[in-house]
Amino acid sequence: MSILSETDKQIILDSIRDIPDFPKPGIIFKDITTLLSNPKALNTLMSHLEERYKSYDLDYIAGIDARGFIFGSILADRLGLGFVTIRKKGKLPYTTVAEKYSLEYGFDEVEVHIDAFGDTKDARVLLIDDLIATGGTATAAASLINKVGAVCVEACFVMELDFLNGKKTIDAPVYSVLHID
């Protein structure tokens, strides 16, 4: 299993821009667009994830709408695997399975195609997204993977907001490249 060096962690962290008071006062938004536009930082991240997951015997990578699509599709390509989208309700064109999750003021839902993992019985799936905060979306996504007959072997995040303890809600091991206090 690959361990990211402190130097490489710093390359990735330095490429992520902080936006104070977005989307509301008191929030410091972690903007990954600067990571995506930095070839050295993006390659450092993706090479690390490729090295980490190449021995996991995965069948698919599943990415959460929308930033998980970016990292997940790059990783799926590097590992020679299929990529599956987990989307907000109403965005997928075929028969889906949905999972609700709590928000600060209400609920939201994510969906996956009922046949997303093909005929692979107990397909081994890595779930990926850019950030885990409270864990609601990721928990729902991991549950969806299991609901359609696959196995979420791990949930991976570029960043984890440790002070929110979101990983405790996910019924799968969690790996985060960067930890934000």
Residues that are catalytic:
67, 104
If you compute the radius of gyration of the chain from its CA atoms, what whole number of angstroms results? 16
Q: How far apart are CA 180 and CA 83, in angstroms?
A: 28
Using the Cα atoms of residue 59, residue 100, residue 71 and residue 94 in order, give the sign of their dihedral: positive
The values of phi and psi at residue 158, to 5°, are -65, -40
Q: Which long-range contacts (CB under 8 A, 24 or more apart) does 51-58 make?
A: 51/2, 52/1, 52/2, 52/175, 53/79, 53/126, 53/156, 54/79, 55/1, 56/124, 56/126, 56/153, 56/154, 57/124, 58/124, 58/125, 58/126, 58/153
